[in-house]
């Protein structure tokens, strides 16, 4: 009997301790994989399309009655808990934005999939099988630490689930961990180097299409597709997506920056300035947005305005290269070669 049938038997025999959700449609799982550029283990896909997440509690339901009055999620906090589909998406995004388990400057296809948490609220996660030809192990973070402090809970999801069922929802956690185990595994299968491989233009658009279908109410998904469309030379379609993002969240300065930058690149600097003015007013402390406005001021010959924006940025961060580069050209246009040369030398020092 495989682990799916064993869970069904457990639910039948002990329904008071089993809190599993309805299964997730397979097409939605495939959409998730396409949207995030990952491949889930076949055994995990079978599990989540059958049960959709959930848990086996340590005690009978009456034990949690008083606790759930104050903390509705208390059973999750004391059990091995598998995320439902919405949590799966949300937690993956959280890990990606936190650069969890990767270096701080990692900005590529995130290869880890969080599938649940331990009773101590440590992540249980898998590795995308799109990047390797073996089953993903089930790993656990230690004290939610981002380093190499992880443990193997199972050599595969099937192994882990066999232990999970055998131990009535509380599989043993190893007392020790092998130092460097995560790094060694990632290095052996070249996980991070493969994750850094650039998408083709068509792959990027396909992924963004799936992301929008998966999460149509997130304006950032339209903004991301706009970037993919621009790389493919589809300018008007990109503008449509940026307009959609602005329509959905007119208070996000970055979207106006994105559209303003695009307008400037195609020579519409006066229209670009309107967007960049809005962007800076919405996010006055964002150096990227202000430096983009300084550049458009420069292109329009509004040198004093460009210099003012550059100085505001450089007073906060004298190493900010975009502002230094623009200010250097502004000084040169003003005929102040001495100050332009000083900025040029500073840029040379930063680059080297």
- Provide the pLDDT confidence category of residue 338 given band limits of 50, 70 and 90: very high
Mean pLDDT confidence for 135-151:
74
pLDDT, position 350: 82
Task: At 344, list the tokens.
Answer: 């040029």
Instruction: Read off φ and ψ for residue 2, nearest 5 degrees.
Output: -80, 175
Would you say residue 67 has pLDDT above 80?
no
First to last CA, the chain: 63
Other beta carbons within 10 Å of 338: 7
Residues 13-36: tens digit of each pLDDT: 999 899 999 999 999 999 999 999
Nearest partner of 112 among 97, 129, 126, judged by Cα: 126
pLDDT, position 177: 62
Would you say residue 242 has pLDDT above 90?
yes
**What percent of the chain clears pLDDT 90, i.e. is strictly above it?**
70
Mean pLDDT confidence for 248-268:
95
pLDDT, position 339: 94
Top-confidence residue, 100 or 149: 100
The answer to whether 296 and 328 have CB atoms below 8 angstroms apart is: no
Rg (CA), the chain: 26
Q: CA 66, CA 71: separation in Å to the nearest integer?
A: 9
Q: Per-residue DSSP letters for 238-258? A: HHHHHHHHHHH-TT-HHHHHH
pLDDT, position 99: 84
- Provide the pLDDT confidence category of residue 148 given band limits of 50, 70 and 90: low
Mean pLDDT confidence for 137-144:
79
pLDDT, position 84: 96
Top-confidence residue, 352 or 343: 343
Would you say residue 106 has pLDDT above 90?
no
Which residues have a Cβ under 8 Å from the Cβ of 95 and sit 6 or more positions away?
101, 110, 112, 114, 123, 125
Average pLDDT, the chain: 90
Nearest partner of 296 among 306, 286, 308, judged by Cα: 306
Q: Write a three-state SS string for 178-211.
A: CCCHHHHHHHHCCHHHHHCCCCCHHHHHHHHHHH
- Provide the pLDDT confidence category of residue 144 given band limits of 50, 70 and 90: low
Other beta carbons within 10 Å of 59: 12
pLDDT, position 146: 54
The angle formed by the CA atoms of residues 7, 9 and 10, to the nearest 5 degrees, is: 60
The segment with the largest mean pLDDT, out of 62-76, 111-125, 235-249, 338-352, is: 235-249
pLDDT, position 193: 86
- Provide the pLDDT confidence category of residue 98 given band limits of 50, 70 and 90: confident
Would you say residue 70 has pLDDT above 70?
no
Its pTM stands at: 0.83
Nearest partner of 123 among 141, 138, 136, judged by Cα: 141
């Amino acid at each position: 009997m495989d682990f799916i049938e064993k869970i069904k038997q457990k639910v039948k025999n002990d329904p008071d301790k089993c809190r599993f959700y309805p299964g997730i449609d397979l097409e939605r799982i495939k959409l998730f994989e396409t949207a995030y550029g990952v491949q889930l283990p076949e055994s995990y896909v079978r599990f989540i399309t059958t049960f959709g997440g959930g848990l086996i509690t340590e005690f009978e339901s009456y034990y949690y009655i008083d606790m759930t009055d104050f903390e509705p999620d208390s059973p999750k906090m004391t059990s091995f808990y598998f995320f439902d589909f919405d949590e799966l998406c949300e937690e993956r995004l959280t890990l990606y934005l936190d650069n969890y388990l990767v270096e701080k400057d990692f900005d590529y296809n995130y290869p880890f999939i969080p599938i649940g948490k331990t009773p101590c609220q440590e992540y249980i996660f898998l590795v995308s099988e799109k990047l390797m030809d073996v089953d993903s192990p089930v790993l656990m973070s230690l004290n939610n630490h981002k380093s190499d402090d992880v443990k193997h809970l199972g050599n595969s999801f099937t192994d882990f689930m066999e232990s999970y069922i055998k131990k009535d929802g509380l599989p043993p956690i190893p007392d020790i961990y092998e130092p460097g185990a995560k790094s060694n595994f990632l290095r052996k299968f070249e996980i991070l180097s493969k994750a850094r491989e650039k998408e083709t233009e068509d792959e990027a658009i396909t992924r963004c299409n799936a992301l929008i279908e998966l999460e149509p109410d997130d304006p950032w998904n339209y903004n991301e597709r706009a970037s993919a469309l621009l790389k493919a030379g589809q300018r008007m379609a990109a503008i449509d997506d940026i307009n959609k993002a602005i329509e959905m969240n007119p208070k996000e300065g970055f979207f106006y920056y994105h559209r303003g930058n695009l307008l400037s690149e195609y020579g519409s600097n006066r229209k670009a300035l309107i967007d960049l003015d809005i962007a800076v007013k919405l996010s006055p402390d964002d150096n990227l947005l202000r430096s983009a406005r300084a550049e458009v001021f420069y292109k329009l010959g509004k040198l004093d305005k460009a210099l003012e924006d550059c100085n505001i940025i450089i007073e906060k961060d004298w190493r900010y290269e975009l502002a230094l580069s623009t200010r250097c050209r502004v000084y040169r246009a003003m005929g102040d070669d001495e100050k332009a040369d000083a900025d040029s030398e500073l840029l040379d020092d930063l680059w080297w």
